[in-house]
Structure 1
Amino acid sequence: MTKYSFMVFAGACSYGILSTLVKLAYGEGYHTAEITFVQALGGMSVLWGLHLFKRSRSAARPRLYKLMLAGALIGFTSWLYYRSVQYISASAAAVLLMQFTWMSVLLERISGKRAAQPGQYICMIAILGGSLLAAGPGIGSRSDLRGIAFALASALTYALYIVSNTFFSTETPALTKSAWMMTGSAVLMLVLVATGDGLVHADAGLLKWGLLLALFGTILPPLLFSGAISRIGAGSSAILMTAELPVAILSANLLLSERISHWQWLGIGIMLTAIAALNLVKKQA
């Protein structure tokens, strides 16, 4: 595995542990809006610090309001995803989030950005079938429908974020884009905090969880991806990024003692294979 492939793999693994960290934060009494706000604020501070240190200059002046709107979208994705793990298991939430893979294909088709191929529809059906097995009891009759709704909504907003990024100029440095996007995310989270429960727990514990989520969710992945995806290609990167799912399942099993059956592992295998095939078909198309 080359250095750049490992960077993409490591970024995906960072995303994979987020649902487990959020579950642990909930166990200490913190709520969604406050941990998401501290995460966005911490990520924004670090990214702007790196941006100013490197003194990034872009060949094309970015439309800042578009970048901030995209950041608000990814921030809202995090908020929805974190809300989902209040009601369903972390592993089930991770499985449902991965539905963004086929949702993004359909959105590209609707937007006219790219026409879907017959092979892609077969892969999407396989992803759905694998998801039913992989989610296991997390979306069974005992689960809370609100958790399922929040997780699927986060998958949709994540797909919207991915598709919207295809319309941005590639000449704008990744660090610049990430800093402005995280600013938009922080602004939205501030609004949610102000209009919701507020910062009920403004203490060291909240700072700990917020910074951990910022490190693994908004700082490391963008930095790793921006330096590696262009080197190995989008198709190979998308396949490596499927590592997020097994890491999410394993971290939930090890740190939260969530049981994983053989049927769930079979479903995960089907999902990962179908996602890899979906990205290969997209690359060929």
Structure 2
Amino acid sequence: MLFNHRAIIARLWPVALLLIAMAAIQSGASLAKTLFPVAGAAGTTSIRLILASLMLLMVFKPWQRHISADAWYSIAIYGVALGVMNFLFYQALHRIPLGIAVAFEFSGPLTVAVIASRRALDLAWVGLAIAGLAILLWPGSDTTGAVNLAGAACALGAGACWALYILFGQKAGAVHGMHSAVLGVTIAAVVVAPTGIWEAGATLIEPRVLAMGAGVAILSTALPYTLEMIALPRLPTATFGTLMSLEPAFGALSGLVFLGQQLGSWQWLAIGAVMTASIGTTLTPGTAQGPADEEPPRPD
């Protein structure tokens, strides 16, 4: 009986860590949105990435490890994609509810999964995801009104960058692991910082902005990165993918609890369609699923 208890705990605690990581990421996004009126979306993106990179650099000290020239190429694209992705996601969050922004952004990893699989069944999952996104864009589909098209476009652009982030992050992380992720975050900060500084200026160094920016950096980057790196090697790929599919729901709930963002029934249905499509691509894989590979931490 004791063995069974230990076995159950061994299976459940990495799942719990991943759920905590998702809750932290979406809570960080909610906190970031409250900073927009003060620092702007670009300024908030910048302060988050700058502080997160400084935290990670101090902990992991990637300069102590030799990085090959080939790895630098992947790390550079990974970092640029990460920076643009965060910038576009916060631009989307400035215009549309958090749960809807995450649902649109999820088109990126879903597309990567489908392209990698190349099975006829995945066309059904793609169709379901497209139907969900179409419902979100349909004018007057619910009492909450039509989704802002510019916000939706920014979220879809963030999804495209997420796809690049996954592809090149896997190449860089396969050799240098977390060191690649830290360097990628640093490059992302360098890419986005000029725009954020131009928009917010000296506001970024005000004590309140620095304190809130540090909170966003911890919740959205430092804490979930750490938890995911502990959980990923202990989870089968299918379990990891299924749990990741809960991200839009976490975003919608976080927006409701922390920001008071009400979604209508059709919008919840659309988010559910995107989640179901993602779960479907995960649970109907073309190859056997072992423990999850070490992937770059998630971006939001």
Q: TM-score w.r.t. structure 1 length?
A: 0.84
Distance 1:130 1:2, change over 3 A: same
1:265 counterpart SS class: helix
Partner residue, 2:233: 230
CA contact (8 A) 1:178 1:222 kept: no
Alpha-carbon deviation of 1:210? 1.5
The C-alpha deviation readout for 1:87-126, integer Å capped at 9, x for no partner, is 22223212211212332235xx3xxxx3511111111111
Residue 4 of structure 1 is aligned with which of 4, 14, 38? 14
Residue 201 of structure 2 is aligned with which of 199, 202, 205? 199
Identity of aligned residues (%): 19
1:282 counterpart SS class: coil
Distance 1:59 1:183, change over 3 A: closer
| Structure-2 separation of matches of 1:157 and 1:138 | 28
| Structure-2 separation of matches of 1:187 and 1:138 | 40
Larger RCO: 1 or 2 (CA < 8 Å, sep 6+): 1
Alpha-carbon deviation of 1:207? 0.9
| Structure-2 separation of matches of 1:134 and 1:183 | 34
1:271 counterpart SS class: helix
The C-alpha deviation readout for 1:17-42, integer Å capped at 9, x for no partner, is 3442232112x422122211111111
| Structure-1 separation of matches of 2:41 and 2:57 | 24
**1:190 pairs with 2:193:** yes
Q: Which amino acid is 1:180 matched to?
A: L
Alpha-carbon deviation of 1:200? 4.3
| Structure-2 separation of matches of 1:75 and 1:183 | 9
Alpha-carbon deviation of 1:237? 0.7
Q: Would you say how many aligned residue pairs link Structure 1 and Structure 2?
A: 275
The C-alpha deviation readout for 1:137-190, integer Å capped at 9, x for no partner, is 69987543211111110111111111222323524232x122111110111122
| Structure-1 separation of matches of 2:226 and 2:63 | 16
CA contact (8 A) 1:8 1:225 kept: yes
Distance 1:90 1:65, change over 3 A: same
**1:131 pairs with 2:140:** no
| Structure-1 separation of matches of 2:50 and 2:141 | 31
1:2 counterpart SS class: helix
Distance 1:14 1:51, change over 3 A: same
The C-alpha deviation readout for 1:224-281, integer Å capped at 9, x for no partner, is 2222212213221111112321111011112222212333333333332221111122
Distance 1:116 1:83, change over 3 A: same
Residue 267 of structure 2 is aligned with which of 256, 264, 268? 264
Q: TM-score w.r.t. structure 2 length?
A: 0.80
Partner residue, 2:90: 82
2:191 counterpart SS class: helix
Distance 1:271 1:149, change over 3 A: closer
Within 5 Å, give how 1:146-225 maps onto structure 2. Answer: 146-168=150-172, 170-174=174-178, 176-193=179-196, 196-201=198-203, 202-225=205-228
Partner residue, 2:50: 41
Distance 1:19 1:240, change over 3 A: same
1:17 counterpart SS class: helix
| Structure-1 separation of matches of 2:160 and 2:92 | 13
Alpha-carbon deviation of 1:69? 3.0
Alpha-carbon deviation of 1:8? 2.0
Which stretches in structure 2 are left out of the alignment for 5+ residues? 1-10, 289-300
2:38 counterpart SS class: coil
